[in-house]
Structure 1
Amino acid sequence: MEKKWFKMYGNAVSGKKGRWIVLITWLLLVAVLNVTLPQADSQKNEMAQNLESHSPSQQAKKVAEKEFPATSGTPALLTWYKSAGITDEDLSLIQKYSKELDKNPVNSLDSVVPFYQFPLPVLKQQLSQDGTTLILQMHEERALKKRRTVAPQKSKAGFAARLGNLIVKKPLHLMVITLLFLGVFAFFSTKIIYTYDTLSSFPKDMPSREGFKIISEHFNPGDLAPVQVIVQTDGKANTVKEDLQKVSFVELVSKGIKGSKNSNIISYNIEMNVNPYSNKAMSHIPDLRNKVERSLKRAGITHASDKVWIGGLTAEQYDTEQTTNQDSRIIIPIVISIIAVLLLAYLRSLTATAYLIGTVLLSFFSVLGLGWVLLHYIFGVEAIQGFIPLYAFVFIVALGEDYNIFMISSIWKKSKQLPLPQAIKEGVAESGSVITSAGIILAGTFAILTTLPIQVLVHFGTITAIGVLLDTFIVRPLLVPSITVLLGKWAFWPSKQHIEAVERNTAHE
């Protein structure tokens, strides 16, 4: 009954009329929401951010804006100071600058006091009593200020702000705790058992798995997927079949069949006495090859290694394992190298590049270990598909570095004007909600894969979802900023300009 309703639903939304109805409905919904919901440019920033709108000063401000509208905003004060006193020559230069500002105003500038129209004696009266200082008032456009969207600061510190304070106060404690947590699960990644058995990726109640179980219980399990051994004999007598029959894991060797075009090529079907899809059967493939090659050499056949071919599903799984391992040895260093180059180009810091990559790699191995603990020790999974770590690596490392860059770039930018601890607190607080929301949504998306019947998708979805959550709630908000606090100015090495900026801001703290 349930399948029937799903089928009816699918036919309804994908039919000739249904698909257009769905599309038009979504377009109308977007149009209605666009009209009814507040627009982004409708928000404004109140200068007194720490005051409630019902406070007396804010109420007075509202009345003033309503009853006494002004065309100009809050004045900006441009100040000249000269310890030896501002001379007539200095005033002439200031007048020229005032004229240039008035005729060619910069962005957001509404009006400038016209010093260039003042006679020199009048302008001198604008100097301070000691004659060292002169102030020029400039007014910003009020309309532009209303269009700026700046979220008002809350009077009470949120969770992200409290987390930032904790990181700055106890960076060593947080770093040690997170490293221990990640290190324990990274250890479990060495215990993972991998499989390339495609049959095991299906549910246990699938007909193919049930059929294999019945065959293995009543017949030799190797009968389902025999290994094919093909040799080039060069027309010489050999003992390949006899030697294969003596191998402990071989149950049966078929009669040799000559090739239809080359009678010197002989094919044998070998039934193993173990599950032909298992890791144990795969590990016997090199032994079979070595055994056959030695038989050919004893028969006087030269270049024996080039005259042996092994096929069948077991051999294909073995080749898949070897190819996956080879790809991992190539792809993983390439991905790390590319990320390192991009981080170095963006951050201009070898130190930051090193610990950002290091934390993500530690996170990756911890994810594998935590995923194995969950799948193996809790849900009873015997092995996970061998290519999952490579696929998960690409996703987890890319997403992890993306989140790290988002946060660390905020810290880098703020550290040029603020003391480093304050920059870290604000950087963590500023990026926390965005990254956390994105991480939860993405983890939930991958977690949907765990509801599917195909086990390989369940394993991949579980590990990747854990990886996103681990990076979102452990690595990015705790480990990375804690390391940055502990390293201090050396987090920016070898950028002398940034190190000097941190030292300067710290000295003014």
Structure 2
Amino acid sequence: MTRASSAPESATAGAGHGLLRGYARLTYRLRWPIIVVWALVAIALFTNPPDFGGGDETESLMPLSGAAAQAELRDVQHFGFPLSSRTAVVQHDPNGLSLAVQAESVLDALSINQHPVGWPILGAMPLANTVRWFDDQSELGTTVITYLFMAPDADFGEQHTAARQYYYRFLDRPEDAVVGVAGSVPARAQQGWLLSVNVPRVEALTLGAIFILVGFAFRSVVVPLIALGASGIAVFATTWLLELASAVMDIGAPAELRPLLIALILGIVTDYTVFYVVGFGAELRKNRASIEEAIVASVGSYTPIIVAAGLTVAAGTAVLLVAEEQFFHAFGPAMALTILVGLLISVTLVPALMSVLGPKVFWPRRDPRLLDRDDESTAVETGSSGLTVWLANAMVRKPAAALALVVCTLLLVAASLPLMNIKLGADFSGALPPDNSVSEANQAAVAGFAPGITSPTTLLIEGDGLNNRQSELIELQRLIEAKPGIAGVIGPSQQLPRIPNLMVSRDGQAARMLVVLDNTPLGARAIADLSDLRADIDGLGAQAGLPGYQFSFTGDSALAEGLVTGTINDLGRIALALFVVNFLLLAIFLRALLAPLFLLLSSVLALTASLGITTYVFMEVLGEEGLTFYVPFAAAVLLVALGSDYNIFGVGRMWELARSMTLPEAIRQAMPETSKAITTAGLALAVSFGMLAVIPVTSFRELAVAMSIGILIDSFLVRSVMMPAMLTLMGRYSAWPNRRLLPHDRLRHAEEQEARKYSNEALKELWRPRR
């Protein structure tokens, strides 16, 4: 069997550069101080958790600016309080609430407008289904929903607690049939609680899975312990620095996405640990080197590749700075900071631990220096299994490479097709488990009224003399109710609770009505329905006799519509910046233009395939209305950047070898080891992101599927098959305009001879009888 080494002559050459060799030797000589420093840092971070008063970042998911937010401010200026509430107490009895209970519930709600119950509740508006509010309303006399208006400076948890205290005080009898609290604010409070409960489980399961996976890949107990130790310190350091950055520079991730950052840091530190250990073992086997020389050679060879890969991923995620939506604008630097912390720990602590442990890194397996070149365990460690060697031989044969490239491309294109039907939403209530108290309250309210009742949309009408336009307002209400996707409108045509200035302002300069959508509020369909209504509202107003008036929408669905629209508008900027940054960094590191272009295109194809599969699973199989708005964009940035990470490692190793041999020989020698490292690292990263599915919130399960599938496609299909196939087909031109793959003209003829040689070997290997 041909010996596959990841650090042949090129490794020593790479370490021979003065700066890299000096860094590698310094790492070895300062191994104990480095370990002690990081241990002290870990102790300090663990015993002093961050508390910088960075604020409640969960609220940054929804925009605080934009047309909907500005309309809500004007609504308050005109009327003194908003009509749209984000918190509602729901009473429901499918057998019917008594008239006494309904009346008392309404009176209790109205009473707090005259006699406030205290901060943060500012007022309340009750609504009972004693009468038929909507045409499709299926129940009568079963439900009372009390909208609570909260102080804007109260966080989600405080508002949710205040709503529960309200029904404990006023609705404490069994016959009151309180189901719970519904609305977007309680839903987000529950998401925060679910995160606090499940994130420790995610971390524990991820660490356990990484231990098993990396341990099995290396047949070692120590390698996964190195990965887990470095990852643990990285998690503490990242959490601390993110809190500091949030407090000082307004940079940070919304609390809903902190688990994504944890999965990212665990995954990338494990990846870089795998790369270092593979190189260290290869160097020990190659020259039977001393520990110091093996560390110097492997660290000197792999550090520039790992640093380039880490900087590429960090720069790739930082491109979110070009987004105009605040959510992405702040999240990009948070991801970049996370990756840089992991990179710093990887290039310092991991080599130091390898220097101290030496060959014991591979315990309980034998010292790699004592293994025979053809020992089976050597094949296991380097990844040079029969399948990998056969694939390497096949991929240097142009007909086989062309066939593999065409088949893989067709498969990825087919997997990408469902992406054409993707829809985006921001449904917080629908993302919760069905048995959650907020979900149960929401379903009870829907049963008594209509799907959009828990988060109705306010239509604000501004202009002169609206207090004398009752008939025109009623006609507008009728026209809106006739629109598809509208369950009904609560406005001037109904008998409403006697609350002063509820629908028309005192000065007659503004009027408003509640538009109840016929689909889940903040969901993809509701957002589409609201967008259609927004496009038609001026025409409907003119038709109703209100030409020239200003019409605005506010409420949760309007905010979500603005957020989704802004996200889609950011798509072009993010995509262009992502492509340019990753291409430039690949071109700089590989010193070529053609190969980076094709490699980046393959990463994009893997991304679209991943998102296509995710769209199909959640929208077609599970019946969801759409994906959470940020999932495709977060996955896109991470998958393309991580794909460039693997590109640098895989192609960088092949091109290092190609300096002293033909490209087919370089591919044939590098593939077994790089494939081993990339697939092991990819599995660890996929498991790390896949564990997000443990959190019982739909958005995390969408992220888990998108990231895991994308990383597996990238590791096992793109980097292990498509990348060597592309290099084989492009040959020496892959390095264009650089000619470093052809240091001598004589290698042109040698390369053709090598390709023919390995084509014949691949055919013999393919047809050789198997025992």
Cα distance in 2 for residues equivalent to 1:276 and 1:174: 46
Summarize the alignment of residues 188-203 of structure 1 with structure 2, pairs less than 5 Å apart. Answer: 188-203=418-433
CA distance in 1 between partners of 2:286 and 2:396 (Å)? 29
Aligned counterpart for 2:504 among listed residues 249, 253, 258: 258
Q: Distance in 1 between matches of 2:520 and 2:431?
A: 15
Distance 1:346 1:424, change over 3 A: same
Separation in 2, partners of 1:343, 1:286: 41
Alpha-carbon offset, residue 319 of structure 1: 1.3
CA distance in 2, matches of 1:493, 1:211: 63
Whether 1:245 aligns to 2:478 is: yes
Say which of 524, 527, 538 aligns to 1:293: 538
Structure 2 distance, partners of 1:365, 1:490, is 27
Matches of 1:378 and 1:154 in 2, distance apart?
50
1:178 aligned counterpart, secondary structure: helix
Q: Which residue of 2 aligns with 1:505?
A: 747
Residue identity opposite 2:529 in structure 1 = H
Q: 1:297 to 1:375 in 2, by over 3 A?
A: closer
Deviations 1:299-343 (A, max 9, x none): 6865x5xx3221112212211210221222221211111111111
CA deviation profile, 1:259-318 (whole Å, cap 9, x unmatched): 46x64122222223444344333223234334442365676865x5xx322111221221
8 Å contact kept, 2:679–2:715: yes
Could you tell me which residue of structure 1 aligns to residue 49 of structure 2? Answer: none
> Relative to 1, partners in 2 of residues 1:376 and 1:220: Cα closer, same or farther, differing over 3 Å?
closer
Other-structure match for 1:282:
527
Q: Which of 512, 515, 518 lines up with 1:267 in the alignment?
A: 512
**Matching residue's letter, 1:425:** R
In 2, distance between residues paired with 1:453 and 1:346? 41
8 Å CA contact retained: 1:186, 1:365: yes
Mind listing any 5+ residue stretches in structure 1 that lack a counterpart?
1-6, 11-25, 31-39, 50-146
SS in 1 for 2:521: coil
- Identify which of 573, 577, 585 aligns with 1:334: 577
Q: Tell me the amino acid that sits aligned with residue 539 of structure 2.
A: R
Q: Which has the larger radius of gyration?
A: 1
Q: Who is 1:162 aligned against?
A: 390
TM normalised by structure 2 equals: 0.44
State the 1:472 CA deviation. Answer: 0.9
Identity of counterpart residues, as a percentage?
A: 22
Q: Using the alignment, how far apart are the partners of 1:235 and 1:376 within structure 2?
A: 47
Residues 365-404 of structure 1: per-residue CA shift (max 9 Å, x gap): 1111223344455555553223210011111111111001
User: So what's the TM-score if we normalise by structure 1?
Assistant: 0.66
Match of 2:441? 211
Q: Match for residue 595 of structure 2?
A: 352
Aligned counterparts, 1:9-408, within 5 A: 154-155=373-374, 158-159=384-385, 160-169=388-397, 170-235=400-465, 239-247=472-480, 248-249=482-483, 250=486, 251-255=488-492, 257-259=503-505, 263-294=508-539, 302=548, 304=549, 307-376=550-619, 379=622, 381=624, 383-408=626-651
Call closer, same or farther: CA 1:257–1:47 in 2, change over 3 Å.
closer
Decide whether the 8 Å contact of 2:476 with 2:541 is kept in 1.
no
Distance (whole Å) between structure 2 residues aligned to residue 502 and residue 356 of structure 1: 26
How far apart are the structure 1 equivalents of 2:518 and 2:615? 29
One-letter amino acid of the structure 2 residue matched with residue 206 of structure 1:
N
Give the structure 2 partner of residue 81 of structure 1.
none
Give me the whole-angstrom Cα distance separating, in 2, the residues matched to 1:225 and 1:46: 67
Deviation string 1:215-273 (CA, Å, 9 cap, x unpaired) is 2223233332221011221336653442232231441231363346x641222222234
Which residue identity does 1:328 align to in structure 2?
A: L
Task: Give per-residue Cα distances to partners, 1:442-472, cap 9 Å, x unaligned.
Answer: 1111111112211111111111011111111
Instruction: Evaluate the alpha carbon distance shift between residue 274 and residue 380 of structure 1 in structure 2; reply closer, same or farther with a 3 A threshold.
Output: closer
State how far apart, in whole Å, the 1-side matches of 2:587 and 2:462 are.
55
User: Who is 2:686 aligned against?
Assistant: 443
Distance 2:551 2:710 in 1: 43
SS in 2 for 1:200: coil
Q: In the aligned structure 2, how far is the partner of 1:273 from the partner of 1:44?
A: 67
Q: The residue matched to 2:464 in structure 1 has which SS? A: coil
**Paired residue for 2:710, among 467, 471, 490?**
467
Query: What is the CA-CA distance between 1:167 and the residue it aligns to?
Result: 1.1
The change in CA–CA distance for 1:449 and 1:411 in structure 2 (over 3 A counts) is same
How far does residue 155 in structure 1 lie from its aligned partner after superposition?
Answer: 2.3
Aligned to 2:763: none
> What is the match of residue 728 of structure 2?
485
Task: Note the C-alpha offset of 1:409.
Answer: 0.8
Verify the 8 A CA contact 1:396 1:464 in the aligned structure 2. Answer: yes
Separation of aligned partners in 2, 1:490 and 1:186: 29
Unaligned runs of 5+ in 2: 1-196, 201-224, 230-279, 290-357, 360-366, 493-501, 752-771
CA contact (8 A) 1:408 1:427 kept: no
CA distance in structure 2 between the aligned counterparts of 1:382 and 1:240, rounded to whole angstroms: 33
**2-structure distance, mates of 1:377, 1:194:** 14
1:426–1:272 distance in 2 versus 1, CA, 3 Å: same
- Name the CA distance, whole Å, in 2 between partners of 1:174 and 1:346: 27
In the alignment, the residues of structure 2 paired with residue 441 and residue 467 of structure 1 have an alpha-carbon distance, to the nearest angstrom, of 13
Q: Distance in 1 between matches of 2:684 and 2:524?
A: 36
394-403 vs 210-219, which deviates more?
210-219
Distance 1:453 1:348 in 2: 45
Which structure has more RCO (C-alpha within 8 Å, separation ≥ 6)? Answer: 2
Please state whether the residue corresponding to 1:271 is helix, strand or coil.
Answer: strand
Aligned residue-pair number: 374
CA RMSD across the alignment = 3.4
- What is the aligned partner in structure 1 of residue 675 from structure 2? 432
- 8 Å Cα contact 2:427-2:520 kept in structure 1: no
* C-alpha distance in 1 between matches for 2:570 and 2:703: 18
Q: Is contact 2:451–2:519 with CA below 8 Å preserved after alignment?
A: yes
Task: Rate the CA distance shift 1:443–1:222 in 2: closer, same or farther, 3 A.
Answer: closer
- Output the CA distance in 2 between the equivalents of 1:493 and 1:44: 34
Match of 2:155 in 1: none
1:465 and 1:417, CA in 2 relative to 1: closer, same or farther beyond 3 A? same
Q: Deviation digits for residues 35-93 of structure 1, max 9, x if unmatched? A: xxxxx79x9557699xxxxxxxxxxxxxxxxxxxxxxxxxxxxxxxxxxxxxxxxxxxx
Rounded Cα–Cα distance in structure 2 between residues aligned with 1:364 and 1:416: 32
Note if contact 1:240-1:292 (Cα within 8 Å) is conserved in structure 2.
no
Q: Distance in 2 between matches of 1:46 and 1:453?
A: 48
- Could you list the per-position Cα deviations for residues 7-50 of structure 1 after superposition, in whole angstroms to 9, with x for gaps in the alignment? 9xx9xxxxxxxxxxxxxxx99x99xxxxxxxxx79x9557699x
Query: 2:606, 2:714 within 8 Å by CA — same for their partners in 1?
Result: yes
